[in-house]
Amino acid sequence: MNHLPVLQVIVPLLAAPICLLLRHGGLARVLATCVAWSSFAMALISLDQVAQLGTLTYYLGGWEPPWGIEYRIDRTSALVLVVVTGIASAVIPIGPGEKSYQIPGHRHAMYYAAFLLCLCGLLGMTVTADAFNVFVFLEISSLSTYTLIGLGSNRRALTAAFNYLIMGTVGGTFYLIGVGLLYQMTGSLNMADIATRLSEMQSTRTVVVAFAFVTMGLAVKLAVFPVHQWLPNAYAYSPSAVSAFLAGTGTKVVYYLLARILMTVFGAAFVFDILGFDRLLMPISLVAMFAGSVAAIYQTDLKRLLAYSSIAQVGYLTLALSLGTTEGIAAGLLHMFNHALMKGGLFLVVACIVCRTGSSQISELGGLARRMPMTFAALIVGGFGLIGVPSTVGFISKWYLVSAALGSGSYVVAALILASSLLAVVYVWKIVEACVFGKAPEGAPQEEAPLGMLIPTWALLGATLVFGLSADFTTHAATSAAEQLSNGVKTAKLISRERRQLHAHTLAEPNAVTPAQESGQ
């Protein structure tokens, strides 16, 4: 067995309580930074090993599924691991200046502990192949996220955290009910085993209800329109570094889970052909694209503007999934990767601005192009990415989305994708206009953001240019992952068959050593 899958989860899980025990914010920051960078390195190694050796598996306690819990890293989860750990590595080393402004100094150790717990939950959701274990990690990430949001000195952060708590609890409960119904029908919690047994059953009402509960629960966590109410305030009132981390990772992992469960547990034939789920998901996605962008246009706070923009971008993700084709799934995974870079970088730009000006109000951005040229340049790069200007990752995403829509015969959808980009032009120009032509507030600082904040900001937004000019790596990774998801039920049957054969072989050999016995030696 390969230990990389379990190390991704164990390392941040063990480091989180150590941060609390250290009590010193500086020491906790060093430890958390080392853990995040180590996780990123392991994710890159996992991606390389999956490309060379195939899927990596780890059985907790040596017990094979469906009796034990399995961790798996395949082509899809390896890509998500790189996204999550990459964003975490860029966000966590940000200097204490911005966090000192928004998070009191005595809470810094708790901040890093909650950050690592959230990272552990996100990575756990990505690698686990157990449906109930997904719920466990979902709650770990959610509880730590509530803490991260509420740690800010802004009083409205507590209200935002409470609203997210209510919505998150509803979403988690819905998901758990759905998993319980699936267990009632199949007697298993392993996703591959569930998929195999569901494919051998008829589409009973219990399966349909389980599908509805699981999908609705994940939709709440993903902030799919119209159950997105928790997201704007959560992003706007949390510390900017937290907003960058959540925007770049939280919804991306849940989107991966939604795509994985729809395609590999229930199967495309059941979801799209029998239930016709695309006829519901596609209109909702289109409305989200336009409603989120229109709402962003009317915002006066930069963080709220980016938050509503994220709702529109979630619409792009679910629209790609609703196409029900391999090309659509590839476009969705590609946009998941690209949007994580863009939105994570843009929220770090906000962190730079707040660090110097103490405000994220658009009306106070006057003269920013002259006062903070490096920060403004980063803002321009991220804004161009949201619009989809050529040479940015946003252009690559929309190119593949439009191509997937045209390939499925959805010409109107392709036209609406292009039309929604015009709304992005409006709200991005609103920011640029304030920064270039607006009058600087009296006594506004003339100092650029600290280098320790500019480096991670440009690391993310510079990557949007690198992958925008040379998209071979991302497009190949997304296409390869999409092909694996598209063959989900077929792959699940193959995995289950191999397990049964291995188990039968073990029983046939009297002297054979079982994994559980081997682990106990």
Q: Tens digit of pLDDT for each residue in 422-463?
A: 999 999 999 998 888 878 777 677 778 888 888 999 999 999
Write the DSSP string, 67-123: TS-EEEE-HHHHHHHHHHHHHHHHHTT--HHHHHHHS-GGGHHHHHHHHHHHHHHHH
Q: Average pLDDT in the 234-240 region?
A: 86
**Res. 55: pLDDT tops 80:** yes
Q: Average pLDDT in the 95-123 region?
A: 77
Query: To the nearest whole number, what is the mean pLDDT of the chain?
Result: 85
Q: What is the pLDDT of residue 511?
A: 44
CA pair distance 294, 287, nearest whole angstrom: 10
Q: Quick one: which of 307, 301, 319, 411 has its CA closest to 361?
A: 301
Is there a contact between 334 and 327 (Cβ–Cβ < 8 Å)? Answer: no
Please check whether residue 484 lies inside any domain of the structure: no
Please check whether residue 406 lies inside any domain of the structure: yes
Q: What is the pLDDT of residue 507?
A: 44
DSSP-assigned beta bridge partners for residue 58: 71
Measured in degrees and rounded to the nearest 5, phi and psi for residue 359 equal: -150, 150
What tokens appear for 127 in the block?
A: 């690698």
The total number of structural domains in the chain stands at 1
pTM exceeds 0.85 for this model: yes
**399: three-class secondary structure by DSSP:** helix
Q: Average pLDDT in the 287-304 region?
A: 92
Please check whether residue 12 lies inside any domain of the structure: no
CA pair distance 374, 369, nearest whole angstrom: 8
Please check whether residue 27 lies inside any domain of the structure: no
Please check whether residue 15 lies inside any domain of the structure: no
CA pair distance 262, 264, nearest whole angstrom: 6
Of 109-118, 334-343, 366-375, 462-471, the one with minimum mean pLDDT is: 366-375
> Bigger pLDDT: 123 or 450?
123
Determine the distance from the C-alpha atom of residue 132 to the mean position of all C-alpha atoms in its chain, rounded to a whole number.
19
What tokens appear for 151 in the block?
A: 């740690």
Range of the domain at 427: 277-441+449-472
Please check whether residue 187 lies inside any domain of the structure: no
Q: Average pLDDT in the 206-220 region?
A: 92
How would residue 240 be classed by pLDDT, with cut points 50, 70 and 90?
A: confident
Please check whether residue 361 lies inside any domain of the structure: yes
Please check whether residue 426 lies inside any domain of the structure: yes
**Res. 17: pLDDT tops 50:** yes
